[in-house]
Amino acid sequence: MNKINKLFTDNKDRKLLSLYFCAGSAKLDNTGDVIKTLEKRGIDMIEVGVPFSDPMADGPVIQEAATKALKNGMTLRLLFSQLKAIKDEVRIPLILMGYLNVFMQYGFEEFFKSCVECGVSGAIIPDLPFADYLELKPLADKYDIRIIMLITPETSDERIRFIDENTDGFIYMVSSASTTGAQKSFDEQKQEYFQRINGMNLRNPRMIGFGISNKQTLEAAQQNAAGAIIGSKFVQLLAEADGDAEKAIDRLYEALEK
């Protein structure tokens, strides 16, 4: 069974926590250390960001991290070699998050093959059109790789149901229609969005991301989905800790108590 599916199947009675970080930032060679540290410290799933020069869905924190990673020399091929080196040490699901152009240049069949060789269970491609996803899905299924699709407050119920029927793993529920970035709370409009999706009784589990940075936003996400995804806050803390994942996760857990 794909590790993503197994994670949700085995943990229906507790809320999950997934973290995002950008490979190659703050340091080029600490991808494996960050992943192993986060798993050891109780993180359930990790999104490994593949840096890109024009990350349209990302806010300034992740944009800065991607820029630094590219300057450091991070590439998709190098990232795969780093992941392959730790494959046998990592049990939790790893998901690559990146933009379509990077994966197209690498070649999709080669990309999925490399995912299997390196222990990657899924991919998030924010700018992948859904029609193109449907064409790509048989190839992803061949290699048992989950392509995770995103929904936002602006996504229609009809579209959400269509996504739910044609995807597997989980649905990435974006908390707002804006770019990534920490928020202090989720307003009434976002709460209504969460409740609307809850009422749809979707087949796939959902993870809520974008804007989660403290106890209030974490609890709101956990109450309305299978768990939460934290990106910008952890990326910021990892940068401040100069790539020291132990320090960064300590500070994140402290922030989530406030």
Q: Which residues carry out catalysis?
A: 47, 58
In angstroms, rounded to a whole number, what is the distance separating the alpha carbons of residues 244 and 135? 40
Pairing mode, if any, of strands 171-174 and 150-151? parallel
CB atoms closer than 10 angstroms to residue 169: 23
Residues in the chain: 258
Measured CA to CA in angstroms, residue 63 lies from 2, 129, 193, 202, 228 at distances of: 30, 22, 27, 32, 21
Q: 20 and 231 in contact (C-beta within 8 Å)?
A: yes
Q: Which of 153, 231, 154 is nearest to 186 (CA)?
A: 153
Pairing mode, if any, of strands 16-22 and 227-230? parallel
Amino acid making up residue 117: E
DSSP 133: H
Q: What are phi and psi of 206, to 5 degrees?
A: -125, 145
For residue 225, whether the previous peptide bond is cis, meaning omega lies within 30 degrees of 0, is: no
